[in-house]
Amino acid sequence: MNSLFYNIKQGFVQIFRNRGMSLASIFSIVAMLLILGLFFVITVNINLFTEVVKQDYDQVEVFLLDKTTKADAEQLMADIKKQDGVSEVEYRGKDDALQILKQRWGESGYLLDSLGKNPLPASILISVDSLDNAGAIARYAGTLEGVDDIQYYQETVDKLTKITNFLQIGALVIMAFLVVVSVVVVSNTVKLTVFARAKEIRIMKYVGATNWFIRGPFLAEGIIIGVLAALISTGLIALIYSKIIESIGPQVLAIVSSPLISAGYMTSNMIIIFVALGASIGAWGSIISMRRFLDT
């Protein structure tokens, strides 16, 4: 335990001695983590939106014209139910649609009371027993008289899935490149400390200091740099993300019927990932520098 405290103390001392390079290392890792965090936030929220859409993926909503009566709708429902792959058909009136929208708006639902006339159309909800049948059923429903529009998410889900996969691959490539750059910068920082303490290191070896006793402070220096950078970048991303959520507002999110990951949940998960990544970058930078420039 005493050795651990000694290494940490010496790590902070060495960071203070090489303030310029230490700051360069911290800013390098912060920049890398900020870019990674941007991709992380976007990808996670797109994944959430995709999952929300997929909940409606097995359901086709057929919007009816205002002139379509309840009796006409029942006839349409009977025709649709005869189609292969239809497991359930449900009628949703204009008032029901408005009540559902109010529930989605939550505390802001009272704003819809000022609309006066209900602008929402009646609709028929078609549940399918297989996703493969949804496209054919949607096309059939679109040919029926009295139908105004069809809401069907297959194409949207496919596009979102492609976007998500592209972002994930792009994030991995960019992250790998920036991690290498950050490791090199941290390695150069530790290298300067090794050169500055070369005489001291030789004396320590002459008096019998072990290799790990010598390596410890340099390893601690790199880890501290990585952790500090991770905390700074997490704080910046949390601040930016919370401001974005605040500027968008719950009303807009309710209208698009898709939530965003809460800032608290995002931050709590990101700080774990970033601290682990930042500490790893710092540790590897120190290890590489010591292997090349510390004769142990």
**Confidence at residue 280, expressed as pLDDT on a 0 to 100 scale:** 83
Same domain, yes or no: 173 and 143: no
DSSP 146-183: TEEEEE--HHHHHHHHHHHHHHHHHHHHHHHHHHHHHH
Same domain, yes or no: 176 and 47: yes
**Confidence at residue 211, expressed as pLDDT on a 0 to 100 scale:** 67
Mean pLDDT to the nearest integer, 210-221: 75
Residue 62 to residues 47, 71, 278, Cα–Cα distance (Å): 26, 16, 51
pLDDT at 100 over 80: no
Dihedral sign computed on CA atoms, order 245, 157, 147, 80: negative
- Residue with more model confidence, 65 or 164: 65
φ and ψ of 229, to 5 deg = -65, -40
Kindly report which listed range (3-12, 159-168, 232-241) carries the lowest average pLDDT score.
Answer: 3-12
pLDDT at 155 over 50: yes
What per-residue string of b and e applies to 221-239 under the rule 16 or more CB within 10 Å gives b?
bbbbbbbbbbbbbbeebbe
What single-letter amino acid sits at 195? F
pLDDT at 178 over 80: no
Same domain, yes or no: 278 and 191: yes
**Confidence at residue 112, expressed as pLDDT on a 0 to 100 scale:** 66
pLDDT tier for residue 111 given thresholds of 50, 70 and 90: low
Same domain, yes or no: 280 and 171: yes
**Confidence at residue 232, expressed as pLDDT on a 0 to 100 scale:** 92
**Confidence at residue 259, expressed as pLDDT on a 0 to 100 scale:** 64
CATH number (domain holding residue 97): 3.30.70.3040
Mean pLDDT to the nearest integer, 164-190: 76
Same domain, yes or no: 141 and 165: no
* Separation of alpha carbons 13 and 193, rounded Å: 10
Catalogue the E-assigned strands of 100-245. Answer: 123-128, 147-151
Same domain, yes or no: 121 and 89: yes
For 226-263, write each residue's pLDDT tens digit: 888 889 989 998 888 888 877 765 555 554 555 677 77
Domain that includes residue 236, residue range: 2-53+157-293
Residue 126 to residues 40, 41, 150, 256, 257, Cα–Cα distance (Å): 35, 34, 11, 21, 19
Same domain, yes or no: 162 and 97: no
Domain end point (choices 114, 135, 152):
152
What per-residue string of b and e applies to 81-113 under the rule 16 or more CB within 10 Å gives b?
eeeeebeebeebbbeebbeebbeebeeeeeeee
Domain end point (choices 104, 121, 152):
152
**Confidence at residue 143, expressed as pLDDT on a 0 to 100 scale:** 84
Same domain, yes or no: 21 and 148: no
What single-letter amino acid sits at 197? R
Same domain, yes or no: 148 and 215: no
Same domain, yes or no: 147 and 179: no
Same domain, yes or no: 74 and 117: yes
Domain count across the chain: 2
Same domain, yes or no: 210 and 186: yes
pLDDT at 296 over 50: no
For 43-92, write each residue's pLDDT tens digit: 777 777 776 666 656 678 888 888 888 888 888 888 888 888 888 888 88
**Confidence at residue 24, expressed as pLDDT on a 0 to 100 scale:** 77
Domain end point (choices 106, 121, 152):
152
Residue 123's DSSP bridge partners are 63, 92
pLDDT at 138 over 80: yes
